[in-house]
Amino acid sequence: MSQDIFVVVEHLRGEVAEITYVMLGMGRTLAEGTGGKVVAVLLGQNATGLASDLSADQALYVEHPSLAEFTPDAYSAALAAVIADAKPRAVLLGSTSIGSDVASVLSARLKLPMISSCRTAGRDGTLQCQICGGKIMAEARLPDSTALVTVIPGGHPADAGRSTQPAAVTAFAPPELSQLRVSLKQYIEPEAGDVDIAKEPVLVSIGRGIQTGDNVELAEELAKALGGVVCGSRPVVDQGWLPASRLVGKSGKRVKPKLYLAVGVSGAPEHMEAVTDSQLILAINTDAAAPIFGLAKYGTTLDLFDLVPALTSAIQQAKAA
Amino acid sequence: MNIVVPIKIVPDLVEELAIDASGAALDNSWLRLIINEFDDHAMEQAILLKEQAGGQVTVIALSAEGVDDILFTAAAKGIDRLIKLETEEAAALNNHALARALAEVIADLKPDLILTGVQAHNDLDGSVGPLLAELLGMPYVGYIAGVKVSGDGALARKEYPGGLVAELLVQLPAVLGIQAAEKPPRYVAVSKVRQAMQTAKIDARPCPTLDPAGGLAPLRLYQPEPAERATMLEGDVEAVSAKIVELLKNAGVM
Amino acid sequence: MTSEIVSAPARTQAFLKTLYGVTDGERIQRCLQCGMCSGACPYGYLMEFPPSRLITSMRAEEIERVLEADTVWLCLSCYACTQVCPQKIPLTAALMTRTKEELLLAGKVPTELHAALENSQRYGNVLGQSPRKRADWVKEAGAPVRVLGKENPRTEVLWYVGDYVSYHPRLQAVGRAVAKVLNALGVDFAVLGADEVSDGDSQRLAGERGLFELLAEKNGKALGRVQFQRIVTTDPHAYNAFKNEYPALGIAYPVQHLTQFLAEHLEQLRPHLTREVKAKVAFHDPCFLGRANAVYEEPRAILAAIPGVELVEMAHSRETSLCCGGGGGGMWLDGFHWEKAHARTSEWRVQEASAAGADILAVACPYEPLRFEDAVKVVPGAGNIVVRDVAELIAESLTA
């Protein structure tokens, strides 16, 4: 067994997923403790370009037509071969539609211990994992044998996993990939159209407190000044003040912006559960007891009709300066 | 078509969770248990498939407080067969142990399709579906929101972030990890569940040995720092606007 | 039962028979098809089968068509139809509720409603909160509230608190007001604490008869373990359940709505009402206090006793009061109602309060502050209206 930390690169349709960079950052921390290398494991076809901004000491590339798109069977077989050959200290996979499909299969197939939902890793090999809806943390330690770890975002910044210097790419011969039981038939695109609020870094969210459709404009001006978009809670969409694509909540979209500025939103649970991944939540609500203040980092009870125009001005001025 | 739905009974997050004296497990005495929400969806998907194409659906659960109610509710919804694996060893239970026990029982049932929730919130060593699949030598695909079965196999819709969906053809027998059933789990009237309690039978069997090897055991469990209430910004409109601009600058938003 | 029957006529007959099982249900046979019910119904214009048309379908032996439609879920169980029926057909209790029951047994329930029903069953409250925390609000009540237990099982007045007052921050304020008022009056009162569960009446009217009985059984057991002279509650739905539905299940106790209790003690209360509440107050008659149980004057009498209060009446009042939209499951079907109607009865009602010149919209049911306060935010010109439970206004008027 080596002391290397392997990171399985997640990519879909030519784009490397953010979780990969998070894992590379985590891998670097672990590798600093084990003394090994960080190795990115890339599976695909004509995909070496995807390794160009990965922060790793080495990239192992497995090329095969059956790996061109993700299917669990092919990925499991290829990764099993890589792991059996290299025997790294740990293999990091995303706790995602890609990583989760193969991690447990590999654990059972190769009889390797695994732990999931790891948020933070320490140089000393400790792992902090998040379960029970975030209410409980479990601490574990990397064993002295090869282990599999699935990773969730939030503990290591993605930037730590990016590099302008591409890692050296080494080819790894794929195993036999013929008896595959899962085949991709087609992709189905999401409906095109309006802005995807789930991808926006700055969101100005409005609730019933905005009172009428005409006042939505106030929020739009603020959003524009910040370079963001407007979204809303259920009553706002019900009233037709915003289209359904802007609904944030249990029946709408889950968002993860850098900034979530809640204007006149009370913070009903069905809404708030879709907002918890936001990095910074600020709330404007005249009701000091509004539940949103239990989730927001900062808040104010000033009247939104006074504050929002003034804030918009202040932001425009600060940006012009 | 013979469908098996293994379900997990998990802590209900509505109640406060406490950590026991050992510091490495949840305190059972405080726990309220419910069916894993994703397993509820798996059950619904199984019933939908049965309604469309005929067949039989079996639900399997380990014994736990309240499991009988859960099984009778399943029967009231249209599940044909209820199997309960009796064990005292809840402590020995992680997903690896559960998957091994299930594999032993399910192998004899010879299902065409196994549907189970893609994950459960208390998963710490992967999830049951893929572990079970590998032990049974079956293929696994997870994050499924839509299944159609034909002579060629199961056509499953796999969800990726951002609304992208991949349609995959999976050879049967297979295990699918259900993210969402094609329809929300149906409501079943309390009176129907009470009826099921009279008419449905739970096939209770001893649970095979629970072997947790493969799950990295935690050294300790702890609760993260409690969320504090927002820091309120004081002052008039100008003062607060200025404070917010400062905060946004520090956060790298401006 | 219904799953065995194949033909529509046979199914209709079976359905009709169950209607006759409700008190006075056979009066359905006397329907004049006058249409008053459908006209009085707040959502009658939107229902595919408003009450009169539902009866027509049964006469045509076409109950299948009714059971394919979902607009019965617009029914708020507000009793407006029952109120106006010249033949005194128990339309709400028999016809509309039984139709919902049939749909629910067939699993045809709007998804939005599932959670409230499942929460009631699992946690004993519609809000899905931990039952262990049901009496936590008592610690912050601001005035002493005794919780009954094995060591102290006796009280004169058993205050049945209800789900919303126990758990919802807005309604906990009403709870604090009630505690203040009862203490000021020197009433010997106590609450069941965590043993209390939802009265189940709205769930019953939403078609979940089995769930209602389950909840009633639990409340019955909890009440059986303590001793008291009467039940008092701020919740007209609970009042209705204890008064009209629980006795058939063997759970029979004297019960009063808080406004009746306070009206009975008005002369003791009056000297304590020293602080002025200077406002035009429109009292909204809750459906289950007013139409369903004919209690109209007591709330007005106690409001009139508050110095500074000028009572005004809204266009619909007493028997014609407009439902807030929360009954019959409506509290948990707001999205469904909005999608069908793009209008909320609570918003009409707030408009009426505004037109009547009211400063305060006084209510006496836990659904109402939530529904009306939301409406106040969106009805133009009504932004100044303050919504208060009668108990809150009394508490405000009490000498400190």
Nearest Cα neighbor of B99 from B139, B50, B136, B69 is B136
Q: Does C377 touch chain A (CB under 8 A)?
A: yes
Q: How confident is the model at residue A100 (pLDDT cuts 50, 70, 90)?
A: very high
C130 to B15: CB separation less than 8 angstroms, yes or no: yes
C378 to A212: CB separation less than 8 angstroms, yes or no: yes
Q: How confident is the model at residue A192 (pLDDT cuts 50, 70, 90)?
A: low
A211 to C383: CB separation less than 8 angstroms, yes or no: yes
B39: left (phi over 0), alpha (psi -120 to 50) or beta: alpha
Q: Find the range with the poorest average confidence among A51-60, A135-144, A205-214, C214-223.
A: A205-214
Fold of domain A5-171: Rossmann fold (3.40.50)
Q: Does A250 touch chain C (CB under 8 A)?
A: no
pLDDT at residue A250 greater than cutoff 80:
no
pLDDT at residue C141 greater than cutoff 50:
yes
Nearest to B187 among C114, C123, C209 (CB): C114
State pTM to two decimals. Answer: 0.90
Nearest to A184 among B139, B166, B221 (CB): B166
CA–CA dist C81, C396 (Å, integer) = 36
Residues of chain A positioned with their CB less than 8 A from the CB of B12: none
pLDDT at residue C2 greater than cutoff 50:
no
C172-227 residue pLDDT tens: 999 999 999 999 999 999 999 999 999 999 999 999 999 999 999 999 999 999 99
Q: What percent of chain A has pLDDT over 90?
A: 72
Question: Has domain A197-320 been given CATH number 1.10.3720.10?
Answer: no
A266-279 residue pLDDT tens: 887 768 878 888 98
Q: Find the range with the poorest average confidence among A177-186, B107-116, C12-21, C344-353.
A: C12-21
CA–CA dist C350, C385 (Å, integer) = 8
Binding-site residues on chain B for chain C (CB distance < 8 A): 12, 14-16, 32, 34, 184-194
Nearest to B189 among C104, C129, C132 (CB): C104
B125 to A299: CB separation less than 8 angstroms, yes or no: no
The predicted pLDDT at position A189 comes to 84
Residues written for chain C: 400
Determine the distance in angstroms separating the CA of C376 from the nearest CA of chain A, rounded to an integer. Answer: 9
B141-193 residue pLDDT tens: 999 999 999 999 999 999 887 678 999 999 999 999 999 999 989 999 999 99
Evaluate whether C201 touches C240 at the Cβ level (below 8 Å): yes
The predicted pLDDT at position C72 comes to 95
Determine the distance in angstroms separating the CA of C58 from the nearest CA of chain B, rounded to an integer. Answer: 24
- Residue of chain B with shortest Cα separation from C212: B190
The predicted pLDDT at position A18 comes to 85
Residue range(s) occupied by CATH 3.40.50.1220 in chain A: 197-320
Nearest Cα neighbor of B208 from B129, B120, B97, B68 is B97
The predicted pLDDT at position A24 comes to 98
Which residue shows structure tokens 């404007």? Answer: A284
The one-letter amino acid at C109: V
Q: Does C60 touch chain A (CB under 8 A)?
A: no
B2-206: CATH number:
3.40.50.620
CA–CA dist B126, B241 (Å, integer) = 46
The predicted pLDDT at position C137 comes to 97
Determine the distance in angstroms separating the CA of A313 from the nearest CA of chain B, rounded to an integer. Answer: 9
Beta-ladder partners of A168: A58
DSSP-derived 3-state class of residue A315: helix
Nearest to C105 among B12, B192, B194 (CB): B192
pLDDT at residue B14 greater than cutoff 90:
no
Determine the distance in angstroms separating the CA of C131 from the nearest CA of chain B, rounded to an integer. Answer: 9
C62-102 residue pLDDT tens: 888 999 999 999 999 999 999 999 999 999 999 999 999 99
Q: What sign does the CA torsion over C265, C268, C271, C274 have?
A: negative
Most C CBs within 10 A among A215, A233, A234, A238, hence the mutation to make, goes to A238
The predicted pLDDT at position C5 comes to 46
Which residue shows structure tokens 């007001």? Answer: C177
Determine the distance in angstroms separating the CA of B224 from the nearest CA of chain A, rounded to an integer. Answer: 6
Q: How confident is the model at residue C1 (pLDDT cuts 50, 70, 90)?
A: very low
Q: Find the range with the poorest average confidence among A282-291, C42-51, C144-153, C271-280.
A: A282-291
Which residue shows structure tokens 């009470």? Answer: B194
Q: Find the range with the poorest average confidence among B25-29, C101-105, C123-127.
A: B25-29
Beta-ladder partners of A183: B169
Average pLDDT, chain C: 94
The predicted model gives C23-38 an average pLDDT of: 94
Higher pLDDT, A313 or B226: A313
Residues of chain A positioned with their CB less than 8 A from the CB of C383: 211
Question: C261-294 in b/e burial notation, b at 16+ Cβ within 10 A?
Answer: bbbebeeebeeebeeebebebbbbbbbbbbbbbe
Beta-ladder partners of A231: A205
Residues of chain B positioned with their CB less than 8 A from the CB of A288: 232
User: Taking each helix axis from N to C terminus, what angle separates A216-226 and A304-320, rounded to the nearest 10 degrees?
Assistant: 20
Q: Does C204 touch chain B (CB under 8 A)?
A: no
Evaluate whether C129 touches C172 at the Cβ level (below 8 Å): no
Residue range(s) occupied by CATH 3.40.50.620 in chain A: 5-171
The predicted model gives C226-253 an average pLDDT of: 98
Most A CBs within 10 A among B12, B136, B216, hence the mutation to make, goes to B216
Domains and CATH numbers, chain C: 2-105 (1.10.1060), 111-258 (no CATH), 264-397 (3.40.50)
Q: How confident is the model at residue A251 (pLDDT cuts 50, 70, 90)?
A: low
Nearest to B191 among C114, C132, C210 (CB): C210
Per-domain residue ranges of chain B: 2-206
pLDDT at residue A94 greater than cutoff 90:
yes
Instruction: Give all strands (DSSP E) within chain B, no chain letters.
Output: 2-6, 9-11, 33-35, 56-62, 81-86, 113-117, 140-150, 153-159, 165-170, 174-178, 202-206, 220-222, 231-232
Q: How far is CA A181 from CA B153, B154, B169, in A?
A: 10, 11, 8
Determine the distance in angstroms separating the CA of A49 from the nearest CA of chain C, rounded to an integer. Answer: 47
- Residue of chain B with shortest Cα separation from C133: B15
CA–CA dist B158, A96 (Å, integer) = 12
A239 to C378: CB separation less than 8 angstroms, yes or no: yes
Residues of chain A positioned with their CB less than 8 A from the CB of C378: 208, 211-212, 235, 239
Q: Which chains pack against B, by 3+ Cβ pairs within 8 A?
A: A, C
Average pLDDT, chain A: 92
Residues of chain A positioned with their CB less than 8 A from the CB of B229: 293-294
pLDDT at residue C6 greater than cutoff 80:
no
Angle at B110 between CA B107 and CA B111, to 5 degrees: 110
Residues of chain A positioned with their CB less than 8 A from the CB of B164: 12-13, 187-190
Determine the distance in angstroms separating the CA of C23 from the nearest CA of chain B, rounded to an integer. Answer: 21
The predicted model gives A89-107 an average pLDDT of: 97
Nearest Cα neighbor of C357 from C397, C391, C298, C310 is C310
Residues of chain A positioned with their CB less than 8 A from the CB of C336: none
Angle at C359 between CA C357 and CA C363, to 5 degrees: 105
Determine the distance in angstroms separating the CA of A296 from the nearest CA of chain C, rounded to an integer. Answer: 18
Q: Does C350 touch chain B (CB under 8 A)?
A: no
